[in-house]
Structure 1
Amino acid sequence: MVHSQSTSLVLSDLGFSVTDEPLEIILTKAGLSPICGVDEAGRGPLAGPVVAAAVIFRDCEAVWSARDSKTLTKRRRETCYRAITESLQYAVGVCSHEEIDELNILQASLAAMTRAIAGLDNVPKMILVDGIHAPKACGLVKPIRKGDALVATIGAASIVAKVHRDRIMEEFDRVYPGYGFARHMGYPTEQHRTALKRLGPCPIHRRTFKGVRELLQTAADAQ
């Protein structure tokens, strides 16, 4: 395994030298288990919740086959999701569109991560988080840039979060037809923007997001 500069910096920050072993194995040998990987899905969409997942590391194929969910096909992501959820301890945290509008998307994402970590049966000693911001949690928390692609357990969490959120949006597609939520999952695609202009925002749209906020203001001005 070839470590990137980012992974090397993580090891250095934690007082470890760079080796060919995965980060999780090194941390386990150092007595920092249980180790938890955390990631979120749904920061960019104009509608729906942000979802975070926390996955407890175990040395098994389900972990090592995990990759950043954004690089996988839907079929491959579903296969990995089943393997991860059947083999590993995990929990999911959700922040609704209302909470996103109230808190802002960053704070809502961190809150979803905190909820996911709190939902685990075991309290992790080491929490590896994708990105540069750390959620509130017991234990040592280490944010890692591009962690979903660099650290297998974070990659596993990214898959769980993505699939869980996609399923929520597929259900919303049945409740609010016409927007195409099952296709774009609430992201600001051309199809979604066109539907928004035609139908107006529905109850799960994020009122504070650009592209929704302006439509609401235009409607208010017209009254």
Structure 2
Amino acid sequence: MTCYKLSDISNFSHIIAGVDEAGRGALAGPVYAAAVILDERSPIEGLADSKKLSPKKREYLSKLIKQKSLCWSISSIEASEIDNLDILQATMSAMKNSVLKLQILPDIVLIDGNQTPELEYKVLTIVNGDNLVPAISAASILAKTERDREMLNLHCLYPHYLFNKHKGYGTEEHITLLKKYGPCKEHRKSFSPIKNFTNFTSINLR
């Protein structure tokens, strides 16, 4: 793997894969990563950091990305595997898997942040890349919408935790519910404050 500067991108062909993750800082649920190769002949208006978009706008753009990009892929790592690997390695694994699943080989992979998985491609990490690079913005949107959809599924299994509202992040409401019910199997046991609990819910709360 060789890393390059942003100014070097123009030296390569225009098959650029953008990669980003969603859910790295959550207390529960999987971490997701997406990789997207946009079609320069069919630009998508409104791409931005997924966190700055409304859920309705993210869903709209997610459909456009899937329809208009040259190719895209999404990967995830479950909470139990996050505990086995640690969150950094789990995130890197999800990113790597998303790139390897692409049906088109990229000339260069642009990754949001300052860390990268081991890949046999030219790689560039870009801090704030989800705001600066359309392909990374698109990956951010796909990862976020797919993870939010999964958290809604988990809400159906564990409604008492209100995963539909906070999506597993450590909000005050989520912490209050953890204190009341204890964590479930979808909580990341290696994370604070989850690791401080000794009472784990073993059944679905309906």
One-letter amino acid matched to 1:215:
F
Of 157, 160, 163, 1:178 maps to: 160
Aligned to 2:203: none
Whole-Å Cα distance in 2 between the matches of residues 99 and 132 of structure 1?
Answer: 23
SS of structure 2 residue aligned to 1:46: coil
Instruction: Find the counterpart in structure 2 of residue 55 from structure 1.
Output: 36
Of 100, 103, 127 in structure 2, the residue corresponding to residue 121 of structure 1 is: 103
* Residue 160 (str. 1) matches residue 168 (str. 2): no
Structure 2 residues without counterparts, runs of 5 or longer: 201-206
Q: CA deviation at 1:135?
A: 1.4
Instruction: Give the Cα separation in 1 of the matches to 2:118 and 2:67.
Output: 27
The alignment-based identity, stated in percent, is 41
2:129 aligned to which of 122, 126, 147: 147
AA aligned to 2:149 is R
Runs of 4+ in 1 over 3 A off after TM superposition: none
Matched, 1:40 2:40: no
- TM-score after normalising by structure 1: 0.84
Matches of 2:117 and 2:72, distance apart in 1: 17
2:194 equivalent in structure 1: 212
State the alpha-carbon separation in 1 of the partners of residues 188 and 53 from structure 2.
27
> What is the deviation of 1:176?
1.0
Task: Tell me if structure 2 keeps the 8 A contact 1:46–1:188.
Answer: yes
- Number of the residue aligned with 1:5: none
The partner residue of 1:101 within 80, 83, 88 is 83
1:78 is matched by which residue type in structure 2? E
Decide which of 3, 6, 9 is 1:10's aligned counterpart: 6
Q: Which amino acid aligns with 1:35?
A: I
Residue identity opposite 1:47 in structure 2: A
* Higher RCO structure (Cα 8 Å, ≥6 apart): 2
Q: Indicate conservation of the 8 Å contact 1:123/1:138, yes or no.
A: no
Structure 2 counterpart of 1:86, from 64, 67, 72: 67
Q: Which has the higher helix share?
A: 1
Q: Is the 8 A contact 2:32 2:94 kept in 1?
A: yes
| 1:168 Cα deviation from its structure 2 partner | 0.5
Q: Secondary structure at the match of 1:106?
A: helix
Question: Per-residue deviation at 1:91?
Answer: 0.2
Q: Give the letter aligned to residue 119 of structure 1.
A: K
Per-residue deviation at 1:43? 0.6
- Quote the Cα distance in structure 2 between the aligned partners of 1:191 and 1:142: 38
Tell me, yes or no, if the aligned pair for 1:35 and 1:128 is still in contact at 8 Å.
Answer: yes
Aligned residue for 2:197, secondary structure, equals helix
Q: Give the secondary-structure state (helix, strand or coil) at the position aligned to 2:18.
A: strand
Which sits farther off after the overlay, 53-62 or 121-130?
53-62
| RMSD across aligned positions (CA) | 1.4
TM-score by length of 2: 0.90
Measure, in 2, the Cα distance between the counterparts of 1:90 and 1:152.
13
